[in-house]
Amino acid sequence: MVSEQRLFSPDSEPVQSGHFTRRDFLGRAAALGLGATALASILSSCGTTALGAGKTHLTYWHLLGGGDGERMLEMVQKYQQANQDVDLEAVTLSWGTPYYTKLAMAAAGGRPPDVAILHMSRLPMYAGSGLLEPFDLSALASNNISQENFVAPVWQKAHYNNQLYAVPLDTHPLVMYYNIDVCQKAGLLDSTGKLLPFQGEDDVLNAFREAKKASGNLGISFPVGDPSSCWRVFCALYGQLDGPYFSADGKDFILDEDKATRVLDFLLRMSKEVGSTTADYAGSVALFSSGKAGFHWNGEWEVTTYQTQKTNFDMTLYPNIFGGQQTWADSHALVLPRQNAVDSQRRALSIKFISELLKNSQIWAQGGHIPTYLPVATSGEYQKLTPQSHYAEEAKHVVYDPSVWFAGAASEMETQAGAAFQAVIGGHLTPKQGVKQFRDAMIKQLKTPTPF
């Protein structure tokens, strides 16, 4: 039998000591801006865990929509077909802040799902706030999940205070798309039809100039009107310069202003000379799919968009512009939100569920995300998956968001940084002014109390 877990309510205290009190729960709900309606939504999402006849009930939360949602559904269905003794309830919640707020408050109340998806860039806040439980390495190993099954940078990022708090499902990096027809006309392909190598500021800009001539419009498109995209591009290039953000203890902002200014100088020059200073996300994607831009910088998740539109394209690693192959990336990871009381049977089934998602991640890879589970990533089946396998090496060069509580997917850091850099590319601020705006915003965030 699955042990009964009491729903945390404002009228009672948690059963276990060491967990949040009623005052903590309500106060932190207020800190996140949740009113009565939002709290009701959280609690209803947690619900009571009704059991099918003779089945153990597991709950799984994620924020995946569109093509990702469809592929996750397929993976969940494969699990259900193979595990008839488990009543798995998979719940899809709204992407971004709504999801992360609900997940945090459910864990704070001691009534979260058994398993949840978390962007790894969000791990420092959730693990550091006591909202997640570390994995038992022996339990993972018994399900063929261990360090040697993952590339080092991704496995390392899954830790907090030397404990494993996440099992990464994928790496989704910033990559470079190229239009084969435009690049062929521009003389940028070799005899096999692959992109000729180029690196460094001048070589990259020269290649984009040739592509601009061939396309008759732009050499490069990326979503300059989207703050998140501006942050990702800056993060990649600043990472190639090994630029720091915060001190080791996370208390001081130590941005190298010269390196940051150099990155923004390049992006402004590139956008003016061979790109666009105004294209929003959808416009940037449309410019590339229609052949009006020879190259495109974006996350690999647009691969199915261009395949559906039958664009003649390929994909490759993000270019080495400042002396390194680093690129921005994040990962979808599987985590164990903190429970008031852990039921050993459900926990064992949760680990097995996570392992089966990893083993079926060839399905996940079709949407562009690089599978982190090496038995899949190194398989012949994945190597035949094109163009997805053409940038698989990117997983070794990833730069994640800084490890501070206000960083990560759909975070305040992403919003503030992206807005400052977007203003530079749009011509509203100079690169130095953009760096100053970014610095001021980050210092303000450092002075803001954490919500947990």
- For residue 54, the model assigns a pLDDT of 73
Looking at domain 22-169+331-396, its CATH architecture is 3-Layer(aba) Sandwich (3.40)
- For residue 95, the model assigns a pLDDT of 94
Identity at 371, one-letter amino acid code: P
CATH of the structural domain 172-329+411-446, one choice from 3.40.630.10, 3.40.50.300, 3.40.190.10, 3.30.530.80: 3.40.190.10
209/118 Cα distance (integer angstroms): 40
- For residue 452, the model assigns a pLDDT of 64
181/311 Cα distance (integer angstroms): 9
- pLDDT of the chain, 452 residues: tens digit per residue: 233 222 222 222 222 333 444 344 444 444 443 443 344 444 444 433 344 557 899 999 999 999 999 999 999 999 999 999 999 999 999 999 999 999 999 999 988 999 999 999 999 999 999 999 999 999 999 999 999 999 999 999 999 999 999 999 999 999 999 999 999 999 999 999 999 999 999 999 999 999 999 999 999 999 999 999 999 999 999 999 999 999 999 999 999 999 999 999 999 999 999 999 999 999 999 999 999 999 999 999 999 999 999 999 999 999 999 999 999 999 999 999 999 999 999 999 999 999 999 999 999 999 999 999 999 999 999 999 999 999 999 999 999 999 999 999 989 999 999 999 999 999 999 999 999 999 999 999 999 998 76
What is residue 300's DSSP assignment?
G
- For residue 273, the model assigns a pLDDT of 98
450/128 Cα distance (integer angstroms): 11
Residue 413: in which H helix or E strand, if any?
Answer: helix 412-425
Same fold, 22-169+331-396 and 172-329+411-446: yes
| Helix, strand, or coil (residue 230) | helix
Residue 284: in which H helix or E strand, if any?
Answer: helix 281-289
* Cβ-based neighbours of 55, under 8 Å, separated by 6 or more: 85, 86, 87
195/105 Cα distance (integer angstroms): 48
Q: Tokens for 98?
A: 């709504």
439/420 Cα distance (integer angstroms): 10
**Domain spans of the chain?**
22-169+331-396, 172-329+411-446
- For residue 451, the model assigns a pLDDT of 73
* Cβ-based neighbours of 175, under 8 Å, separated by 6 or more: 297, 298, 299, 300, 315, 316, 317, 318, 327, 391, 394
Residue 171: in which H helix or E strand, if any?
Answer: strand 170-179
